[in-house]
Amino acid sequence: MNQPANPQRRRALQAAAALLLTMPEARSAPAGLITRPVPRSGERLPAIGLGTYDTFNIPRDRLAQTELQAVLRRFIELGGQVVDSSPMYGHAETAVGVLTAALDARKSLFLATKVWISGRSEGIRQMEESMRLLQTKTIDLMQVHNLLDLKTHLPVLRDWKKSGRIRYLGITHYHAGAHAELEKLVKTGDFDFVQFNYSLDEPEAEARLLPACADSGTATLINRPFSQAGLFSKVRGKALPPWCADLDCSSWAQFFLKWIISHPAVTCAIPGTRRVSHIEDNMAACMGRLPDAALRKRMADYLSAM
C-alpha cells in the first residue's frame, strides 16, 4: 500500500522546483572559495557575506567620504555575494542601492533585507520601499526581522515568492533568548533561511537551533559573528597560537570566522565592516582549510582559557 506523502517534504520539493525556475546564472567565484548550498535549492553561496548594520548607515551625500564603495567592490572581487540589510539600519539600504548601482553589481550580489513593522499594508509598503532604496525589482531573501508580526507577513511573503518578487523567505533574531522560538518555526519547514547570532562568545545555537536547521533543510545566516567586537576585546594584544597555521589562519578575525563556518549547518556568516583591509581579512576566512570537530573544540578551549 502506498504511504501518504509527507506534507512537509512535499512543500519542500515544490519550493525547490519553484526556486530552480528563478535561480540566477551561476556567479563566478575565485578558485578555492568556500561555498555552501542553500538546502531548498542547491544554489551555492560563499560562506562569508557582508552585514550592513551600523557600518553602512551613512547618508547618501556622505558616501563619497567613506571607503564603502571600495569595500563593496573588493568584496565582489574576492567572490563575496551575500549582502544583508534592514529598514532598521538607518541609511544602509540606500547606501547599498547607491553603491551597487554605481558598480553595476546587482547581478553579482545576493541581496537580503527584512520587513520590520506591524500590519499587512504597512509591511507591503515597507518592502516596496526597500526595493526602491536597493534599486532592484527582486529581493533574493526577504526576512521577518526579529519575528515582528510574523503571522501577518508570512502570507504576503509566500505570495511574493510565488510571483518572483522575492526568491527566498526567512526569519531573524539576534539573541539566544529567541532560539527556542526560531527552532520551533524552522521545524515547520516554512522558511528557506533563518538568521541568528552564533560565535565563540555566543555558542548557544549549537545545542538545538543549528541541529534543527540541518534536520529541516533550512539555510542559516549568522549575525554577530564577532559578538559586536567583544571577541576582539578578549584577544587584544595577544598573538595567535602557532597551530593556527594548520587552518591557513593569519588573524583573529579569520580564527573567529573559520570556527563559525566550519559548523556543517552554517550557510553564511555576515560580519560588517567599513574598511577595505577588514573585508580582505574577513574574506580570507573563506579560503583554505577549516577546523574539524576536534580542532573546533581546541579553538573554543583556547579562547575560554584567556
Q: With beta carbons less than 8 A apart as the criterion, state whether 216 and 9 touch.
A: no
In this predicted model, what pLDDT tens digit does every residue of 44-86 receive, in sequence order?
A: 999 999 999 999 999 999 999 999 999 999 999 999 999 999 9
Q: With beta carbons less than 8 A apart as the criterion, state whether 270 and 84 touch.
A: yes
Answer yes or no: is 30 within a domain. Answer: no
Q: What is the pTM of this model?
A: 0.91
Structural domain of residue 257, as residue ranges?
A: 43-304
Average pLDDT value for residue range 225-254: 94
What values do phi and psi take at 202, rounded to 5?
-135, 70
Q: Is the pLDDT of residue 275 over 80?
A: yes
**β partners of residue 37:** 44
For residue 255, the model assigns a pLDDT of 98
Answer yes or no: is 34 within a domain. Answer: no
Answer yes or no: is 280 within a domain. Answer: yes
| CA-wise closest residue to 166 among 7, 19, 296, 14 | 19
Question: What is the three-class DSSP state of 167?
Answer: strand
- What would the grid cell of residue 247 be? 587552518
CATH of the domain at 278: 3.20.20.100
Answer yes or no: is 2 within a domain. Answer: no
In this predicted model, what pLDDT tens digit does every residue of 80-117 receive, in sequence order?
A: 999 999 999 999 999 999 999 999 999 999 999 999 99
Total domains in the fold of the chain: 1
Answer yes or no: is 274 within a domain. Answer: yes
Question: What is the three-class DSSP state of 130?
Answer: helix
- What would the grid cell of residue 188 be? 515547520
Answer yes or no: is 182 within a domain. Answer: yes
